[in-house]
Structure 1
Amino acid sequence: MAVKISLNELPMQPHQKFSGVKVGYVITKEKHPELSIIIMELDPGVEIPLHTHEKEVDSIFIVEGEGEIYIENNWQIVKKGDIIAIGAKELHGLKAKGQTPLKCYVVHAP
């Protein structure tokens, strides 16, 4: 299952749960039962609330913008080029800061 995408050509759509968040689907659980890959874009000031994933590990690469991520019981600054890995059942959240959207490449596995 090889995939090649261009970020500029990936269709973005509103997130089903969060206002001010757009998602572009690269790989969905329907295509691969143990993997999902998305591009997620948060408008300035938007926050993904604190949450956990029962079995998935989250890998996040910050593509554009800046913000804060909640990991290890505190908020930490993130910016373009940062990589974050979050284990299953670990509490985490994400906020977009600054004047531009925060764009992330997100992998959930398994």
Structure 2
Amino acid sequence: MNSVKREKDLTWEPHPFLPIQIKLLVTRKLDQADVTCFLVKMPVGKEIPEHTHEIQEDIIFLLSGKGKMWIDGIGDFDIEKGTFVRVPKNTRHRIYDVTEEILNYDVFAPPLF
């Protein structure tokens, strides 16, 4: 269990929605943590289709890039560097229309994996 990690030392891994990639920062499996934290890299023109997380809150902070997001009950809105989004558990959402490669910090509580 390593409490200090450097992003440069971590490798990009496939996200369930390819060709999107993730770098695992903190997980229940690797770190015995009560949250999952990772970086997400999403290329221009790609999307994360509509989905839900039944028991997890999804906290997203955009480090760079531009696109659009939709959350059930809120609607469509632009996302860009500095945008903070909280998606409540069991809420449909998606990211789409990526016009600049997105890099975001993503936190799930309770842990996703």
CA shift in 2, pair 1:6/1:67, >3 Å: farther
Supply the distance in 1 between the matched residues of 2:7 and 2:83 (Cα, whole angstroms). 17
How big is each residue's C-alpha offset from its partner over 1:30-87, in whole Å with a ceiling of 9 and x where there is no partner?
Answer: 1235310010011111111111111100000001101111113522100000100011
Q: Tell me, which stretches of 5 or more residues in structure 1 are unaligned?
A: none
Unaligned 5+ residue runs, structure 2?
A: none
Paired position in structure 2 for 1:51: 51
Counterpart for residue 91 of structure 2: 90
Instruction: List per-residue Cα deviations over 1:3-39 (Å, max 9, x = no partner).
Output: 3444444321222x22220100001121235310010
The aligned counterpart of 1:20 is 19
Higher helix fraction: Structure 1 or Structure 2? 2
Q: Which residue of 1 aligns with 2:101?
A: 101
Please, what is the CA RMSD of the aligned residues?
1.9
**How many residues matched?**
108
Structure 1 pair 39–107 and aligned structure 2 pair: CA distance change class (3 A): same
Rounded Cα–Cα distance in structure 1 between residues aligned with 2:10 and 2:64: 15
Question: 2:103, 2:66 → 1: CA distance?
Answer: 9
Distance change (3 Å), C-alpha of 1:13 and 1:52: same
Q: Is the 8 A contact 1:96 1:102 kept in 2?
A: no
TM-score w.r.t. structure 1 length?
0.86
| One-letter amino acid of the counterpart of residue 32, structure 2 | H
Q: Which one-letter code corresponds to 2:91 in the other structure?
A: E
Flag as ranges the 4+ runs of structure 1 deviating above 6 A: none
